[in-house]
Amino acid sequence: MLDMKFLRENPDIVRQNIKNKFQDEKLPLVDKVIELDEMRRNMQQERDDLRARKNVLSKQIGALMKEGKKEEAEKVKEEVAKDAERLSELEGVEAPVADEIRKIMYTIPNIIDPSVPIGKDDSENVEVKKFGEPVVPDFEVPYHTQIMETFDGIDLDSAGRVAGNGFYYLMGDIARLHSAVISYARDFMIDRGFTYCVPPFMIRSSVVTGVMSFDEMDAMMYKIEGEDLYLIGTSEHSMIGKFIDQILDEDTLPRTLTSYSPCFRKEKGAHGIEERGVYRIHQFEKQEMIVVCRPEESPMWFDKLWQNTVDLFRSLDIPVRTIECCSGDLADLKVKSYDVEAWSPRQKKYFEVGSCSNLGDAQARRLRIRVNAKDDKYFAHTLNNTVVAPPRMLIAFLENNLNADGTVSIPEVLRPYMGGMEKLVPKH
């Protein structure tokens, strides 16, 4: 959410930013919110004037009564009553105006970083850098569920009967591999100085609207019937929400946290064959990282966060690349975002396994996360990034570590979490 003062003083910058995000339908909102803001400020000024006038008139009434001028005092009391009536009227009008301003400000997109490429959708995202050499083996790489089935590692049919499409049972060595990857990612981030956290898996609506746009909320979140609670789509939601309505001492920044959680997403729409199996699902587990920091430090932390994910995937012998999201592919709260994509030997292309985002002060402004500095208070900057999100990450792991005989090699860093196993051996 933008600062109203910034919008009021820089409407052309806000309009151009809306155009850069190809959301021209929102352009009229700029003039509308400026008009509403002027109306609100005029009402606030009138209200302040009336209150000041009340204090003056109250003193007059007391003085007149002391002088025995009761009739004149009654006339002044009538003026006070009229002013009180007008105050009540203003308060009744001001609240809906403030609500309308807030609603519009939640809709107007955040100002993107000047380095973000201008493009309409994800087809215009830009490759930044590749890490590791993508390899296509001289044997056929089966579909990921077929690989899992050779280890008796997945049961989609039973999951369909129990919960419907978009769910799964992971079994045996594949389930163990899933947990090993999560545990390794946890320790990987702890070793990099992040504090480990297991957060609430449900959050209130005030946190939901604080961390994401209304469009994202509608597309992703599951609501708990009859309660003001939503299942989280990622632990970033509850991790950033942890700081709602807090004033943080500047000396305690940055706050660097890594969190484990299950994640729940609607994932609306039909998907192609390569997105079936465990690629696009309603429930999965994830290790996340978030940072709350000073504004001037957020670009530095953005680069550190995506690099953490790249380093983790490379330690598991998985080639990856970073993709910068263009303006039209950025969610409204984001200032800048990279996707980390892993190489798929089967598809002979990269696919998304994580996303790193700098949200500037947008979430902090919505959630009222302020920093207490020596001479001032300001809104913190927040960032988030996926460390690893199996089972999707398992697709990349299995494909890139698959051998011609059907075994799957376990990279050395993961072996302590797999009981020392060096290979997964198919059962049939």
The CA distance from 378 to 247, in Å, is 9
Counting residues of the chain whose pLDDT is more than 70, the rounded percentage is: 98
pLDDT score recorded for residue 237: 94
Domain holding 209: CATH number? 3.30.930.10
Looking at residue 47, its pLDDT comes to 87
Which CATH number do you get for residue 43? 1.10.287.40
Residues with Cβ within 8 Å of residue 1, at least 6 apart in sequence: 105, 106, 108, 110, 333, 362, 365, 366
pLDDT of the residue at 270: 45
**pTM > 0.85: yes or no:** yes
Please tell me the number of Cα atoms within 13 Å of 51 on its side-chain side. 9
* Structure confidence at residue 374 (pLDDT): 87
| Same domain as 198, residue 141 | yes
Average pLDDT over residues 300-315: 98
Report yes or no: 293 and 301 within 8 Å, Cβ to Cβ: yes
Mean pLDDT of 370-388: 95
Given a cut of 50, whether residue 60 has pLDDT beyond it is: yes
Read off the pLDDT band of 85 (50, 70, 90).
confident
Q: Same structural domain for residues 134 and 203?
A: yes
**In this structure, are residues 23 and 73 in contact, taking their beta carbons and an 8 Å threshold?**
no
Question: Which of the four pLDDT bands, split at 50, 70 and 90, describes residue 88?
Answer: confident
Same domain, 64 and 141: no
Does position 315 have pLDDT exceeding 70, yes or no?
A: yes
CA 19 to CA 13: how far, in whole Å? 10
Where residue 309 falls among pLDDT bands split at 50, 70, 90? Answer: very high
112 lies in some domain: no
Would you state the pLDDT for residue 268?
Answer: 55
Q: What domain count does the chain have?
A: 2
Per-residue pLDDT reduced to its tens digit, 158-206: 999 999 988 999 999 999 999 999 999 999 999 999 999 999 999 999 9
Residue among 288, 284, 262 nearest 166 (CA): 284
Q: What is the mean pLDDT of residues 130-139?
A: 96
Q: Are strands 169-170 and 154-155 parallel, antiparallel or unpaired?
A: antiparallel
Asked whether residue 395 is domain-assigned, the answer is yes
For residue 116, being part of any structural domain is answered with no
The per-residue pLDDT for range 324-357, each reduced to its tens digit, is 999 999 999 999 999 999 999 999 999 999 999 9
**Rounded Cα gap, residues 244 and 68, in angstroms:** 56
Taking the CB of residue 99, how many other CB atoms lie within 10 A of it?
10
